[in-house]
Amino acid sequence: MMSERARLTGFLLLLGCGWGLTTPLIKITVTAGYQPFGIIFWQMLIGAVLLGVLRWRQMGRMPVTAKTLAVWLMIATIGTLIPGTASYRAAFHLPSGIMSIVIATIPMMAFPIALALGNDHFSIRRLAGLCLGLIGVGLIALPEASLPERAMIAFLPLALVAPLCYACEGNIVARWGTAGLDPFQALFGASAIGTVIALPIALGSGQFFVPAAPFILADFTLLVGSIVHVLVYAGYVWLIARAGSVFAGQVSYVVTGSGVFWAMLLLGETYSIWVWLALLCMGIGLSLVQPRLAEPTPLGETKVHG
């Protein structure tokens, strides 16, 4: 019989492959001409509906206070609206595999922010991981053969906005919590508020669209990508509760590696030696910045705190 750790490892690999798949799906969606705020509106609406269906019994007991509204607004803006707008714009210009590699900078960006907020303590090992992450970004940006077109370099800083936002979001939650909301309630409320915010912005900017027959590939990738994202997030939350945040955090490796693989398989992307070296630097950097537990924690004992 497969051991518990083997089953959890297999589930982690499945989550990482699903998460990595969303990057080339978004690439297909934006390449068809769909604009960021229109995409964000439909993603958040689909996410809110799907979470509401999956967890409808718990949603009715959500506390609605000034603090929970602030949490939902923070997650909606810093966790989706701002990073989504930047990354979808960058995804139109950059190869999907590059976007997957760049997203691996989240833990590296989170480290100095954690130090500033007092969420973490200084570590030479993790500083070395941060430096390797910067080297990885540099290997993408500097060599002549790393990107198909040198003009793409201008959009690399835009791609870094999303991991910076996610790093800020994680540290804010770690520092101030989620006002008693469990992760599913937090995501549902943020999706609902985000839908309300994104709709007038999409309409006012002319980016709103309604998929209609005859449906194109981008409509399919938008729907599948939105559903996969919600299911993967729900699975990730479950994995944290089951195996602990350190174990679950290793999904970062799989997301980056599978994102590159999916881009090669679905989009036919190819990369120079500099990009592969950047991926190697990111992988080693991730291994250094990932937090370690002071003592081994048996699987299943770690709980999720809102």
Lookup result for tokens 């269906």:
53
pLDDT tens-place string over residues 198-229? 999 999 999 999 998 899 999 999 999 999 98
What letter would DSSP give residue 80? I
| Greater pLDDT, 166 or 6 | 166
The whole-number pLDDT of residue 246 equals: 65
> What type of residue is 98?
I
Q: What percent of the chain has pLDDT over 90?
A: 57
What Å distances lie between residue 201 and 74, 140, 209, 245, 256, CA to CA?
Answer: 17, 33, 12, 35, 31
Report the alpha-carbon distance of residue 288 to residue 148 in Å, rounded.
30
- Specify the 3-state DSSP secondary structure of 207: coil
Per residue in 22-72, pLDDT (tens digit) is 999 999 999 999 999 999 999 999 999 999 888 777 666 788 899 999 999
Residue 32 tokens, joined: 């068809």
Q: What is the mean pLDDT of residues 114-131?
A: 88
Residue 31 CB burial class (10 angstroms; 0-12, 13-18, ≥19): middle
Cα angle vertex 268, ends 140, 282, to 5°?
A: 30
CB atoms within 10 A of CB 293: 11
Query: What ranges make up the beta strands (E) of the chain?
Result: none
Whether the per-residue pLDDT at 291 is higher than 90: the answer is: no
- Distances in Å between the Cα of 63 and the Cα atoms of 9, 58, 279 are 34, 11, 43
Contact 94, 157 (CB under 8 A): no
CA 276 to chain centre: 21
241-272 pLDDT, tens digit per residue, is: 777 766 777 788 899 999 999 999 999 999 99
Q: How far apart are CA 261 and CA 173, in angstroms?
A: 32
Q: How confident is the model at residue 144 (pLDDT cuts 50, 70, 90)?
A: confident
Q: Cβ distance 203 to 32 under 8 Å? A: no
Domain ranges of the chain: 4-289
Q: How far is 31 from 217, CA to CA, in rounded Å?
A: 11
* Mean pLDDT value across the chain: 87
